[in-house]
Amino acid sequence: MSDRPEWTELPDLASRRFGGTVMWATDELFAEKENLVNPWVPAHRAETFGPKGQVYDGWETRRHREPGDDQAIVRLGLAGTVTGVIVDTAFFKGNYPPFVSVEATSLPGYPSAAEVAAAEWDVLVDRAPASGHTENFYAVNGSRRYTHVRLTQHPDGGVARLRVHGAPIPDPALLDLDALDLAALENGAIVTGCSNRFYSSPNNILSPGLAAHQAEGWETARRRDDGNDWVTLRLAGAGIVRFVELDTSNLKGNAPGWASVSGRETYGEWVPLLPKTRLQPDTRHRFALPDGPEVSEARLDIYPDGGLARLRLFGRLTEAGRTNLKARFDKTR
pLDDT tens readout for residues 55-101: 788 999 999 999 999 999 999 999 999 999 999 999 999 999 999 99
Neighbouring residues of 128: CB distance < 8 A, sequence distance ≥ 6: 99, 100, 101, 136, 138
Among the listed residues 6, 328, 1, the one whose alpha carbon sits nearest the alpha carbon of residue 169:
328
Neighbouring residues of 302: CB distance < 8 A, sequence distance ≥ 6: 220, 228, 229, 230, 256, 258, 259, 308
When comparing pLDDT for 5 and 266, which is higher? Answer: 5
- The tens digit of pLDDT for each residue in 108-156 reads 999 999 999 999 999 999 999 999 999 999 999 878 999 999 999 999 9
Residue 192 has pLDDT above 80, yes or no: yes
- The tens digit of pLDDT for each residue in 243-288 reads 999 999 999 999 999 999 999 998 789 999 999 999 999 999 999 9
What is the model's pLDDT at position 2?
65
Amino acid at position 292, single letter: G
Percent of the chain past pLDDT 70, that is, above it, reads 99
Distances (CA, A) of 332 to 115, 169, 170, 267: 22, 8, 11, 24
Do 6-168 and 176-322 share a fold? yes
CA distance 249 to 180: 22
What is the model's pLDDT at position 50?
80
Among the listed residues 11, 331, 15, 296, the one whose alpha carbon sits nearest the alpha carbon of residue 172:
331
Q: Where are the domains of the chain?
A: 6-168, 176-322
CATH topology of domain 6-168: Jelly Rolls (2.60.120)
Average of per-residue pLDDT across 232-251: 97
Amino acid at position 256, single letter: P
- The tens digit of pLDDT for each residue in 291-319 reads 889 999 999 999 999 999 999 999 999 99
Among the listed residues 131, 52, 37, the one whose alpha carbon sits nearest the alpha carbon of residue 91:
131
Q: What is the CATH number of domain 176-322?
A: 2.60.120.260
314 phi/psi in degrees, rounded to 5: -85, 140
CA distance 223 to 268: 31
Q: How confident is the model at residue 225 (pLDDT cuts 50, 70, 90)?
A: very high
- The tens digit of pLDDT for each residue in 29-57 reads 988 999 999 999 998 888 787 887 777 88
